[in-house]
Amino acid sequence: MGGGGGKGGSGAADAARAEEQARQSRIREGTQKVNQLFDGQFTDDFYGQRRQGYLDYATPQLQDQYQQALKELTYALDRAGTSDSSIRAARMGELQKLYDTNTRAVSDTALNYENDARNNVEQGRSNLISQLNATADVEGTVNSANSRAAALSAQQGYSPLGQMFAAFTNALGTQAAYERSAAIGGSKPYINTGLFAPSQNAVTVTQ
């Protein structure tokens, strides 16, 4: 009896071992298929396109805003008769510095889109492998992998840029009102840019 029990126990253990080996084989097969799908679709070119896509979307908006800010500054300089002055150079320098800062901000955001795409893809891959390890269902996991890959590769939407030069152009209007008010009152502004107070070289602009 003891010998028979031992043989039966050995047979059950062999069956369990064979089943586990088959399970591990299915997991390896499924893992290989998931990796082939993801590695074939999500290449460096894909991630680069995610970055470039945002740059193509945001850069024209940034340039349009810069040109508008430049136009407003030029108008203010012309009204004050300081088109060829050191004040012009200083204000143009401030605007250029702000443009460079905003350009870097756009580039950083584009890089974030690339990095987010990489992280999302790897998170999706990890979730699929975890699913496969739990179920050993190759077909089900591959179907899920195809669905996840389609979602991850879908065209991404972007939000329009905010007003990146608003502080600069708003300051032009605020300082203009301040300096003109002080000039009319015969006083000297506490902060005087020399840009907006009446000048003998000022250009008269009529509406």
> DSSP for 37-53?
HHHHHS-HHHHHHHHHH
- The pTM for the full model equals 0.77
The pLDDT score that the predictor gives to residue 178 is 52
Candidate from 8-12, 16-20, 124-128 with smallest mean pLDDT: 8-12
Q: Is residue 4 part of a domain?
A: no
Q: Is residue 187 part of a domain?
A: no
Average pLDDT over residues 95-116: 98
The pLDDT score that the predictor gives to residue 205 is 38
Q: Is residue 180 part of a domain?
A: no
Q: Is residue 179 part of a domain?
A: no
Cα separation of 83 and 106, whole Å?
31
Sequence-distant (6+) residues with CB within 8 A of 163 are 65
The fraction of the chain above a pLDDT of 70, given in percent, is 77
The fraction of the chain above a pLDDT of 90, given in percent, is 66
The pLDDT score that the predictor gives to residue 175 is 54
Burial of 194 from C-beta contacts in 10 A (0-12 / 13-18 / 19+): middle
Q: Is residue 23 part of a domain?
A: yes
Q: Is residue 165 part of a domain?
A: no
Model confidence at 56: pLDDT above 60: yes
Cα separation of 200 and 60, whole Å?
39
The listed range with the strongest mean pLDDT (75-79, 190-194, 195-199, 202-206) is: 75-79
| First CA to last CA distance, the chain | 113
Query: Are residues 146 and 37 in contact, defined by beta-carbon separation less than 8 angstroms?
Result: yes
Cα separation of 88 and 82, whole Å?
6
Sequence-distant (6+) residues with CB within 8 A of 33 are 138, 141, 142, 145
Q: Which backbone phi and psi does 52 adopt, to 5 degrees?
A: -65, -30
Kindly indicate the confidence band of residue 181, based on its pLDDT and cuts at 50, 70 and 90.
low
Q: Retrieve residue 97's tokens.
A: 């510095």
Cα separation of 159 and 51, whole Å?
15
Q: Is residue 150 part of a domain?
A: yes
Model confidence at 187: pLDDT above 70: no
Query: At residue 128, what is the residue type?
Result: L
Q: How many domains does the chain have?
A: 1
Model confidence at 40: pLDDT above 80: yes
Kindly indicate the confidence band of residue 75, based on its pLDDT and cuts at 50, 70 and 90.
confident
Q: Is residue 107 part of a domain?
A: yes
Kindly indicate the confidence band of residue 23, based on its pLDDT and cuts at 50, 70 and 90.
very high
Model confidence at 135: pLDDT above 80: yes
Range of the domain at 36: 12-160
**Given CA atoms 141, 142, 147, 150 in this order, what sign does their dihedral have?**
positive
Kindly indicate the confidence band of residue 88, based on its pLDDT and cuts at 50, 70 and 90.
confident
Q: Which residue has the higher pLDDT, 192 or 101?
A: 101
Q: Which residue has the higher pLDDT, 196 or 149?
A: 149
The pLDDT score that the predictor gives to residue 86 is 85
The pLDDT score that the predictor gives to residue 173 is 62
